[in-house]
Structure 1
Amino acid sequence: MSGTNFAIVGCGHIAKKHAEAIKNAPGAKLVAVCDTVPSNMTFYIEEYGAKGYESYDELLLDHNIDVVNICTPSGTHAPLTIKAANAKKHVIVEKPIALTVEDASSMIEACEENSVKLSVLHPNRFRPAMIKLKKAMDKGKFGKLSHANATVRWNRNQEYYDQAPWRGTKSLDGGVLMNQAIHNLDLLVWVMGDVEEVYSMAATRLRHIEAEDVSTGLVKFKNGSLGVIEAATTIYPKNYEESLSVFGEKASVKIGGRTANFIEHWEMENVSEQETEKLVNEIKAEPFGKPGHQWIIEDMMEAIKEDRSPIVTGEEGKRALELVVALYHSAETGKPVKINEGR
């Protein structure tokens, strides 16, 4: 597909990934950027020839824009998405889709009412190892599922949180679950299915922030299998591990490494050691593949052309959010929480 014009709203750190993905996606073009701080837009104006807007309302009047990429603090995603939808712009929104399930539902409803597409940035689904795992799950290679383990052991020091006043706040950012671990939790529900009930504990141990810097949780999935969640930004002195492990009656798999890109364990019934070794080496040779942001950009372009839903829809983004909200609710009350009660 050719001729899809994109605008980036919020020119902070993550915006550069969006700009690079748009640049590398055939037929895509970055035509506009928006930020309340003019100097933040300079790079994109000079490097990509994008038009700069200090006013979001003015940007939305630009009829040359097809898709708005929202890269602002998480707490602002809902009003910006709803405005874009009302202006008949398709939307790609950074994770998490929003900070409340109510906001996420409003975003989805606004896009549906205006017949525009909504896609949420969960790029880790497109890692080669994760694609292999998902295909194995969909083919029933695991048999009856036993349990899964989602782990994020990372470091975000105090300097990270001090970069901007919104970082680590409950109203605009959230803690390790909402910010860092939500990608891993998206993978968990993508692979294991819908969650029925959670029980969680959380704490703010080492960072001077409003939200949690460490969280643990237990999960019961609707299919009867169980899950364990561990997430922290308190790991000394740097990122240690992100992993997803899945166990069933016919298979055991762990995708790990610092950012869950490598097959650390892969055993399946009727799969020989030679086949397994070949798969492990294939992933090791190309663990990252095409960047996930580029996958999302190209998928949005195809979704518009084919008039279909994007791969990672607003509803998909809401599933991961519902899990995080339920975990928060459980940690606050000290009680197990049914997933719909977490809303």
Structure 2
Amino acid sequence: LTQFSHFIDILYWVFGDVANVHATFSNFNHQEQIEFEDSGMVTFDFVKGGKGSINYSISCWEQNMESSITVIGEKGCLKVGGQYMNEISYFNVKDMEKPDLAATNPPNSYDGFMGSAGNHYQFLHDVIDHLKGRKSNGTNAYEAAKVVEIIDKTYQHRDLKELKAKANVNR
């Protein structure tokens, strides 16, 4: 789940807490490298109303394929996507113009692997500014704890058939 925790941050920030979580996970391509799943599907209800789902995989060959979030509502729909979730690929919202996104930095390169979006330095600058008293925090410990709680809730409600299958393989 650490592979999509940023999306849980976004979902919590925009829509609030979740309930009725159901999840299933698999490790298709990284059994020898990692002890957690490389792919998963999670469905849930938002406490304030609405439903959500997350599908993720880090099993794409050689590079990140896409990161996206789609919102379908009664007064509009939008999709923010692209390889690093840096493009508005669909926008149809009542009484709103499609916003222009600023150009982004190129992705980070780790010894030939093209990884995350190249904007982590902005986060580090924000942390430093906050610690030096030049800026107030954009989030707080409660919100961070809620995101961890949602991740924990997801693992608690994972598909039990999958856990039984893993237990039988390890015998």
Where does structure 1 differ by over 6 angstroms across 4 or more consecutive aligned residues? none
The structure with the largest alpha-carbon Rg is: 1
Aligned pair in 2 of structure 1 residues 238, 292: CA closer, same or farther (>3 Å)? closer
Aligned position for 1:291: 119
Aligned residue for 1:242, secondary structure, equals: coil
Measure, in 2, the Cα distance between the counterparts of 1:182 and 1:321: 9
Is structure 2 residue 149 aligned with structure 1 residue 322?
A: yes
Measure, in 2, the Cα distance between the counterparts of 1:237 and 1:295: 27
Alignment of 1:119-198 (within 5 A): 177-178=1-2, 180-198=3-21
Shift of residue 305, structure 1, vs aligned partner: 2.2
Aligned position for 1:246: 71
Measure, in 1, the Cα distance between the counterparts of 2:153 and 2:73: 25
Any idea what the Cα deviations from partners look like across 1:287-313, whole Å, max 9, x if unmatched? Answer: 45x9344245335524652695x2132
Measure, in 2, the Cα distance between the counterparts of 1:239 and 1:311: 28
Long gaps (5+) in structure 1 = 1-176, 335-343
Aligned pair in 2 of structure 1 residues 237, 292: CA closer, same or farther (>3 Å)? closer
Q: TM-score, normalised on structure 1? A: 0.39
Shift of residue 226, structure 1, vs aligned partner: 0.5
Aligned position for 1:258: 83
Contact persistence 1:199–1:219 (CA under 8 A): yes
Contact persistence 2:23–2:155 (CA under 8 A): yes
Q: TM-score, normalised on structure 2? A: 0.74
Aligned pair in 2 of structure 1 residues 232, 331: CA closer, same or farther (>3 Å)? same
Aligned position for 1:312: 139
Aligned pair in 2 of structure 1 residues 303, 251: CA closer, same or farther (>3 Å)? farther
Aligned position for 1:331: 158
Alignment of 1:206-285 (within 5 A): 206-208=29-31, 209-271=34-96, 275-276=97-98, 279=99, 282-283=100-101
Measure, in 1, the Cα distance between the counterparts of 2:128 and 2:77: 34
2:65 is aligned with what amino acid? Y
Any idea what the Cα deviations from partners look like across 1:202-233, whole Å, max 9, x if unmatched? Answer: 11222123211111010111112100111111
Question: Which structure shows the bigger proportion of residues in helix conformation?
Answer: 1
Measure, in 1, the Cα distance between the counterparts of 2:44 and 2:124: 28
Aligned length: 148
Contact persistence 2:129–2:135 (CA under 8 A): no
Q: What is the root-mean-square deviation in Å for CA atoms of aligned residues?
A: 2.5
Aligned position for 2:108: none
Any idea what the Cα deviations from partners look like across 1:253-278, whole Å, max 9, x if unmatched? Answer: 1100011111011111123xxx42xx
Most deviating of 224-233 and 291-300:
291-300
Measure, in 1, the Cα distance between the counterparts of 2:62 and 2:14: 31
